[in-house]
Chains A and B, each alone.
Chain A
């Protein structure tokens, strides 16, 4: 896309809450330009197709721009914020356009070429990008495989909370908090199992040493 279309996409984002992720929102973006450049009429269908792609491609571009803006929105969180605060802020970002999100996510999951019938890659990328951003903002210092498990667990928690938000917006934040709390408890239990296992290994090593095998 050209630079002008990138600029127009940004101007279309505030229009999503009234017009949804539609070509109409894209067409009206020119009316939000500064006064000296603003158009009085929305763009024609041909212009929208030329600038943002034909058919649903233009809508996909608008949804992707909105998701990227959501990642930038997370950057506004102050340093030292907790994971709960960061993910909660990202859920709050959804609120103004919540009614349009099921259709937007369905569109992203629809394959452009027909096969496979459901393309989960955009959903996975959406959740993993948010989890990675949350880890960066909160100063996560996970290493090696823990780096992956931390992000996978946050991506899952966020995805489930977002799905919950689509059906029950009022309880989404409490639900998010509960999931995060459960994951901390689960991690703590795993650490205890790990510690206990290390004691067993050490005691067996001691027994083997006492027999003079090693």
Chain B
């Protein structure tokens, strides 16, 4: 777990440098009402095979569920640590970014006619519970939770980019979707970087906490792919 985190943190540093230089982000196209009729954001490929459709369905369903859970994790952390002058603004900043991710995922769900997960209510409760509990354990534990979650999510987005190679690249929505997944992966890795910088690895029982949260995230991903 530690080696993987260090590797992802190094990647995160590289991404963050590139990220800071980006003039505009791909996802802003979804939040710009004047672009709402653009075929890349208003149409879905109609020639998908059953396998491709299944891949797209499960990918977007789990991504949306992940963003819902992430929002509620930060909500839980902010509920406890919101007034802390050091980590309060940091949590707020990461939460704002997750809110934007969820807004884009909601648009992608409608665009590609994806059935959302039926477990969204559970994701909210579990996310809030996880965020609040780790925040009660202390700032470092809250950051360790962020580190563990973002490690799994960063890897998940990375795997998904490879899976999306099977989709027809000629439809304008597909390259845009890949670009958005890349952007979100970079954002999640940036959060991971922030968590490590703010002493996540000083949390009590860091290895155990990271493993439990990491396994929980992986189970949640598999469940949301199916339900």
Q: CB within 8 Å of B: which residues of A? A: 136, 141, 143-145, 147-148
Contacts and interface: CB of A to CB of B under 8 A. Distances in A.
Interface residues of B, number: 10
B106 A147 contact: no
Contacts, number: 15
Contacts of A143: 106, 109-110, 116
Interface of B: 68, 106, 109-110, 113, 115-116, 118, 120-121
B68 A147 contact: no
Contacts of B68: 144
B121 A147 contact: no
The 10 closest A-B pairs by CB, nearest first: A144-B120, A141-B110, A147-B116, A143-B106, A144-B116, A136-B113, A145-B120, A143-B116, A148-B118, A145-B121
> Chain B at the A interface: mostly helix, strand, loop or mixed?
helix
> Chain A at the B interface: mostly helix, strand, loop or mixed?
helix
A62 to B, nearest CB: 23
A147 B65 CA distance: 14
Contacts of B113: 136
Contacts of A147: 115-116
A136 B109 CA distance: 12
A143 B113 CA distance: 11
Contacts of A136: 113
B146 to A, nearest CB: 23
Contacts of B109: 143
**Max count, chain B CB within 10 A of own CB: residue among A136, A141, A143, A148:** A143
